[in-house]
Amino acid sequence: MHELIDRISDERGDLPVRDPATGKTIATVRTYGVDEVAGIIRDADVARGAWAARTAKERARVLRAWFDLIMDRQEQLARIITAECGKPIAEARGEVAYGAAFIEWFAEEAKRAYGETIPTFADGKRVLTIKQPVGTCAAITPWNFPVAMITRKVGPALAAGCAIVLKPAEATPLSALALELLAREAGVPEALFRVVPASEPSAIGELFCSDPLIRKLSFTGSTRVGQILMAQSGQNITRLSLELGGNAPFIVFDDADIDAAVEGAMASKYRNAGQTCVCANRFLVQDGIHDAFVAKLTERVAALKVAPGAQEGSQIGPLINAAGREKVASLLDAAVARGARVMTGGHRSDLGENFFEPTVLVDVAPDIDIVRQEIFGPVAPVIRFRDEAEAIRIANDTPYGLAAYFYARDLGRVWRVTEALEYGMVAANDGLLSTEVAPFGGIKQSGLGREGSRHGLDEYLELKYCLMGGLSA
């Protein structure tokens, strides 16, 4: 397709990569087995010593060069993302910039991994802390953001002075391999950051948890797989960061700016055709504004352009695969069987096997599967509520706690609701909250740890308490 793909694909490879819009194979890549990956981990563990010994400024310079190379290739990388994950090309360009921003951010943060001095507790003693790299890390990343989910793990790991071995999603190894290639060009030593596509992902996950050289594992994906990795890593007490499933409520109160709320709803729900962990999964709309909000939302959703992601102007591309589409269809059918009404959409699209029409669903009961499970598709189910207490109760009635959104103008309500929502991230009067400068992560079954911001660097640093005794004259 173009130069970067030619350099990373392998005609003799055993993992075909398919375009979700057409089902056609766009490239093949080679995969790595457990023994090979164990060797790669050993090499990484050797390489990390020299990397950690460099000054933070030197590491930052390499990361900055990587950032520049990614941005120089923004268009090529965006085309790879769209080709293997299906998202509209405009969104893919945005993802490259979003993903690169983590590298730039952590290049800068590398220089600020400060320790502290603590007022002493006894004569002749001084108390300090220093921060040191955790060691060799592993990462497992998903297909829905094939660039950004990698950079927000690898950026802080390298900035902190760690080595990292990364298994990308089986559906989207090309973006990962392209990033690895550019990292190499920027001066990241070869053994320090390795991408290992796998045809047996669960065996590699098990290795990451059981290999004593791996001191930290960062995973983004489903809660079910997160639970397995957490159980498997118990033996080694491997440090974990888990960014898992979500069930984001999007609440619209009577006093909301309705046009702003519709704008936010479009951005939150239909980004990547609804395939993000932070997508609004259920809309809770107060009685007094319900019908007007639904009418405006329906009008906007009906006008969305569904087309292959590579087509300029596409707003909704294909879902990742037929299983994803069938899950959306069956949740929708079950909701309709329980009395929900389709305002627009509601069908598989005839554009291709993986396409589904953007949909608005009303009269949705708060206890049915479509609002209890992560939909991961372009369907907006709307639940009607009476008052603030009821909205908070429904919003918090889930084992998940990743992102939540609400629209209201009353300042007291804005604070009350922000504090009452049991989520790791809450956005008031905005539909998009992802940025490299803020801590991204969830509570409850949505995960552990934070990515991005200064807190994202701490995930790859150990805090050492240093006592200096015998200092009395």
In the complex, minimum distance from the CB of residue 335 to ligand SIN, in angstroms, rounded to a whole number? 23
CA atoms within 13 A on the CB side of 268: 33
Helix (H, G, I), strand (E, B) or coil at 466: strand
Work out which of 4, 230, 278, 340 binds ligand SIN, going by CB under 6 A. 278
Residue type, position 346, single letter: G
- Measured from the CB atom, the residue of 392 and 425 that comes closer to ligand SIN is 425
> What span, in angstroms and rounded, lies between the C-alpha atoms of 168 and 146?
8
Work out which of 136, 141, 144, 359 binds ligand SIN, going by CB under 6 A. 144
In the complex, minimum distance from the CB of residue 221 to ligand SIN, in angstroms, rounded to a whole number? 8
Strands 15-18 and 136-140: unpaired
Which segment (144-152, 179-187, 195-203, 313-321) binds ligand SIN by CB under 6 A?
144-152
Work out which of 32, 102, 145, 355 binds ligand SIN, going by CB under 6 A. 145
CB 79 within 8 A of CB 310: yes
Catalytic choice (95, 243, 436, 459): 243
452 CB-near residues (< 8 Å, 6+ apart): 102, 105, 152, 435, 436, 437, 438, 439, 440
83 CB-near residues (< 8 Å, 6+ apart): 1, 19, 26, 174, 310
- Measured from the CB atom, the residue of 4 and 244 that comes closer to ligand SIN is 244
Number of residues located near ligand SIN, criterion CB under 6 A: 9
Q: Which residues pair with 381 in a beta bridge?
A: 361
Q: 């069930």: which residue's tokens?
A: 247
- Measured from the CB atom, the residue of 145 and 385 that comes closer to ligand SIN is 145
What are φ and ψ of residue 406, in 5° steps?
Answer: -150, 155
- Measured from the CB atom, the residue of 281 and 344 that comes closer to ligand SIN is 281
276 binds ligand SIN (CB under 6 A): yes
Is the C-alpha dihedral spanning 203, 206, 210, 211 positive or negative? Answer: positive
What are φ and ψ of residue 355, in 5° steps?
Answer: -90, 145
Work out which of 62, 160, 230, 277 binds ligand SIN, going by CB under 6 A. 277
In the complex, minimum distance from the CB of residue 226 to ligand SIN, in angstroms, rounded to a whole number? 12
In the complex, minimum distance from the CB of residue 114 to ligand SIN, in angstroms, rounded to a whole number? 27
220 binds ligand SIN (CB under 6 A): yes
Burial track 138-166 (b if 16+ CB lie within 10 A, e otherwise): bbbbbbbbbbbbbbbbbbbbbbbbbbbbb
In the complex, minimum distance from the CB of residue 90 to ligand SIN, in angstroms, rounded to a whole number? 16
135 CB-near residues (< 8 Å, 6+ apart): 45, 48, 162, 163, 213, 215, 216
Which segment (43-51, 113-121, 124-132, 272-280) binds ligand SIN by CB under 6 A?
272-280
What are φ and ψ of residue 311, in 5° steps?
Answer: -80, 125
In the complex, minimum distance from the CB of residue 292 to ligand SIN, in angstroms, rounded to a whole number? 29
85 binds ligand SIN (CB under 6 A): no
Catalytic choice (85, 137, 209, 277): 277
175 binds ligand SIN (CB under 6 A): no
CA angle 180, 182, 188 (to 5 degrees): 70
Residue 287: burial class (beta carbons within 10 Å; 0-12, 13-18, 19+): exposed
> What span, in angstroms and rounded, lies between the C-alpha atoms of 265 and 102?
26
Which segment (5-13, 24-32, 143-151, 353-361) binds ligand SIN by CB under 6 A?
143-151
CB 211 within 8 A of CB 233: no
Q: Where are the beta strands (DSSP E) in 292-373?
A: 341-344, 359-362
- Measured from the CB atom, the residue of 173 and 447 that comes closer to ligand SIN is 447
Q: Which residues pair with 448 in a beta bridge?
A: 242
Per-residue mark of binding to ligand SIN, 95-134 (x: CB under 6 A):
----------------------------------------
- Measured from the CB atom, the residue of 144 and 286 that comes closer to ligand SIN is 144
- Measured from the CB atom, the residue of 9 and 218 that comes closer to ligand SIN is 218
CA angle 39, 230, 36 (to 5 degrees): 15
Strands 248-252 and 359-362: unpaired
453 binds ligand SIN (CB under 6 A): no
Ranges within 223-262 binding ligand SIN (CB under 6 A) = 243
Is the C-alpha dihedral spanning 376, 447, 405, 96 positive or negative? Answer: negative
464 CB-near residues (< 8 Å, 6+ apart): 129, 130, 131, 132
Which segment (67-75, 270-278, 372-380, 457-465) binds ligand SIN by CB under 6 A?
270-278
Per-residue mark of binding to ligand SIN, 176-215 (x: CB under 6 A):
----------------------------------------
In the complex, minimum distance from the CB of residue 203 to ligand SIN, in angstroms, rounded to a whole number? 24
Ranges within 347-386 binding ligand SIN (CB under 6 A) = none
Work out which of 223, 354, 434, 446 binds ligand SIN, going by CB under 6 A. 434
- Measured from the CB atom, the residue of 44 and 280 that comes closer to ligand SIN is 280
CA 408 to centroid of chain Cα atoms: 27
* 279 carries an active-site annotation: no
* 243 carries an active-site annotation: yes
Give the residues lining the site for ligand SIN (CB under 6 A).
144-145, 148, 220, 243, 276-278, 434
Catalytic residues: 243, 277
